Structure 1
Amino acid sequence: MADTDRNTAPWHVWVVGLLALFWNGFGATDYTMTQTENRGWFESMGFDAGTTDAILAFMDSAPMWTHAAWALGVWGGVLAAILLMMRNKLAVPVFAVSLLGAFLGLVNYWTADYPPELRQIADSSMMYIVVLIAAFWLFYAYRMKTAGVLR
């Protein structure tokens, strides 16, 4: 006999899971394109050649821990989103790792010495938004785990 309670998930698990996958998937794409120094990626986002050069030089000079934190944040988020949609309770600790990566990115944001060409990027609130959204994914997964939706 099939356990219908175990086989049905609230509709919002799929909505949140797909949104988390899209959000973190974009971050993972950005990470990959930056790490591979894909100039076309930067051009598609409206950066000119000088700004692209400044971004790539800045990233090349960044400490290795910042690259690792970024990878944990985005790839952890991708994995956690998939686990959430699979209704796997491991989504909670993996979203926690993703949040840690985002928070470490914020620490780098506070402490990095941005060159003048990147001042506009450095002065944006995007890093704060990233951390808040990562915290939401973790909060949501935790609530679904405590509600018995994730097993």
Structure 2
Amino acid sequence: MARLTPKTPWHLWVVGIVTLLWNGIGIMSYMMTRLGNLADLGMTADQIAYFDSYPVWANTFWALGVWGAFFGSILLLARSRWAVPAIAISLIGLVGTSVYQHVLTETPASLSSPAIAITIWVVTIFMFFYARAMAAKKVLK
């Protein structure tokens, strides 16, 4: 009998686990912010005030970004075709968050890290194209 779904490539597990851990950091940051626990991360009053000043729409994009990426990693590990739209939602969230942080407001220098911002973009774009490639190869069902 012919196999309908290709064997899971080893790199899917590596990509899925590494991105899940990476996206877990984003979830932790988001949740600490939303729950008001930023002082526990060593943030100053000015840094906390910056995050508290986010408008609802910016928080919504941030939530889409972190939760979309997190669930995208889980769905990738589950070999679900829904990983692609989840990561696409994450990209939409990243665009909205980036517009707010880098265009519409002045991020405090103590919170600004171009290296981290670039890494988030690279990882998210990589995840999207990787998930699309796995879906095209019928690895995701």
Query: If the length of structure 2 is used for normalisation, what is the TM-score?
Result: 0.89
Corresponding letter in the other structure for 1:97: I
Q: SS of 2:114's equivalent? A: coil
Q: Please, which runs of 5 or more residues in structure 1 have no aligned partner?
A: none
The CA deviation at 1:18 is 0.5
Q: In structure 2, what is the equivalent of residue 78 of structure 1?
A: 70
Corresponding letter in the other structure for 2:126: F
**Residue 89 (structure 1) aligned to one of 81, 84, 105:** 81
Q: Distance in 1 between matches of 2:45 and 2:36?
A: 10
Q: Deviations over 1:1-40 (max 9, x none)?
A: 7x65637300111110011111111100110011112145
Give the conservation status (yes or no) of the 8 Å contact 2:91–2:125: yes
Q: In structure 2, what is the equivalent of residue 128 of structure 1?
A: 118
Q: SS of 2:36's equivalent? A: coil
How many residues matched?
A: 140
Larger of the two Rg values belongs to structure:
1
Q: In structure 1, what is the equivalent of residue 99 of structure 2?
A: 107
**Residue 60 (structure 2) aligned to one of 68, 81, 86:** 68
Give the conservation status (yes or no) of the 8 Å contact 2:81–2:135: yes
Q: SS of 1:125's equivalent? A: helix
Runs of 4+ in structure 1 off by over 4 angstroms are none
Q: In structure 2, what is the equivalent of residue 58 of structure 1?
A: 50
Q: Distance in 2 between matches of 1:59 and 1:120?
A: 13
The CA deviation at 1:142 is 0.3
Report % sequence identity: 35
Give the conservation status (yes or no) of the 8 Å contact 1:84–1:150: yes
Give the conservation status (yes or no) of the 8 Å contact 1:144–1:150: yes
Corresponding letter in the other structure for 1:127: A
Q: Please, which runs of 5 or more residues in structure 2 have no aligned partner?
A: none
Q: Distance in 1 between matches of 2:83 and 2:31?
A: 23
Q: In structure 1, what is the equivalent of residue 18 of structure 2?
A: 19
Q: Distance in 2 between matches of 1:128 and 1:7?
A: 33
Q: Distance in 2 between matches of 1:93 and 1:64?
A: 23
Q: SS of 1:37's equivalent? A: coil
Cα gap change, 1:123 to 1:21, in 2 (>3 Å)? closer
Q: Distance in 1 between matches of 2:113 and 2:140?
A: 39
Q: In structure 1, what is the equivalent of residue 34 of structure 2?
A: 35
